[in-house]
């Protein structure tokens, strides 16, 4: 009797451990399944067709571990819209005014035919970049008033609005000052030979130059 009971007492903890392990494994598998299903439901709910097929392919995977699935963003456009989005020029994201860009390109072509090189040194500037330029000009000149002669703060700069270009070299700027009005391009300031904006109708007269930038 005593001999018989021994093995059973010895076996019991092992049995308990096996049971506990099975329970744990079942729990983990169930949890994984629930997560997987809820992810699939989310994916299927609001998604274009190709995402749906991708979601349906998930059950075929041998692994039960729910990998972090790419959750579709609610704003995701249908795939047919993405090619045109990639073709969009950069000014859509806050860049140079397309009219200004077109005018300059036409002028540049004509300048080249005349044997003159002219190119854009800077066009659009982000508000932050413009503000940084303004702050460093204040440091350089020692005062806000002095800085304003050359650089405007972000809120009043045409560069931030995509409506101004600074060109190079000076010979090219001189050419553009003489001929730019053909495309509506005018030099704006007396103290900035490089700064041009669309300021007249194509072929019209440019307004009188301003002495310097003003806030
Ligand atoms: Zn400028």
pLDDT at 147: 96
- Say how many C-beta atoms besides its own lie within 10 A of residue 131's C-beta: 18
CA of 104 to the centre of ligand 1 (A): 14
Say how far apart CA 146 and CA 141 lie, in whole Å. 6
CA of 133 to the centre of ligand 1 (A): 11
pLDDT at 96: 95
Does domain 95-198 bear CATH number 3.40.50.2300? no
Low-confidence ranges of the chain (pLDDT < 70): 1-94
CA of 152 to the centre of ligand 1 (A): 9
Q: Is pTM, for the whole model, over 0.85?
A: no
CA of 98 to the centre of ligand 1 (A): 17
CA of 2 to the centre of ligand 1 (A): 101
pLDDT at 25: 66
pLDDT at 191: 96
Angle between helix axes 49-57 and 2-45 (nearest 10 degrees) is 170
Q: How far is CA 79 from CA 76, 83, 119, in A?
A: 9, 8, 37
pLDDT per residue as tens digits for the range 143-185: 999 999 999 999 999 999 999 999 999 999 999 999 999 999 9
Domain limits, the chain: 2-71, 95-198
């Amino acid at each position: 009797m005593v001999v018989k009971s021994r093995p059973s007492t010895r076996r019991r903890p092992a049995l308990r451990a096996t049971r506990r392990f099975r329970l744990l494994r079942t729990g983990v598998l169930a949890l994984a399944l629930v997560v997987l299903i809820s992810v699939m439901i989310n994916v299927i709910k609001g998604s274009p067709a190709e995402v749906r097929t991708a979601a349906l392919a998930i059950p075929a995977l041998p692994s039960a571990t729910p990998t972090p699935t790419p959750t579709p963003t609610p704003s995701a456009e249908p795939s047919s819209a993405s090619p045109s989005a990639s073709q969009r020029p950069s000014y859509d994201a806050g860049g140079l005014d397309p009219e200004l860009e077109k005018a300059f390109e036409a002028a540049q072509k004509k300048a080249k035919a005349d044997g003159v090189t002219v190119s854009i040194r800077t066009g659009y500037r982000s508000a932050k970049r413009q503000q940084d330029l303004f702050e460093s000009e204040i440091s350089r000149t020692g005062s806000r008033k002095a800085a304003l002669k050359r650089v405007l703060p972000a809120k009043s700069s045409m560069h931030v609005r995509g409506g101004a270009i600074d060109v190079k070299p000076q010979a090219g700027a001189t050419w553009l000052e003489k001929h730019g009005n053909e495309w509506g391009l005018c030099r704006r300031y007396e103290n900035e030979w490089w700064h041009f904006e669309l300021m007249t109708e194509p072929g019209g007269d440019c307004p009188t130059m301003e002495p310097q930038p003003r806030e």
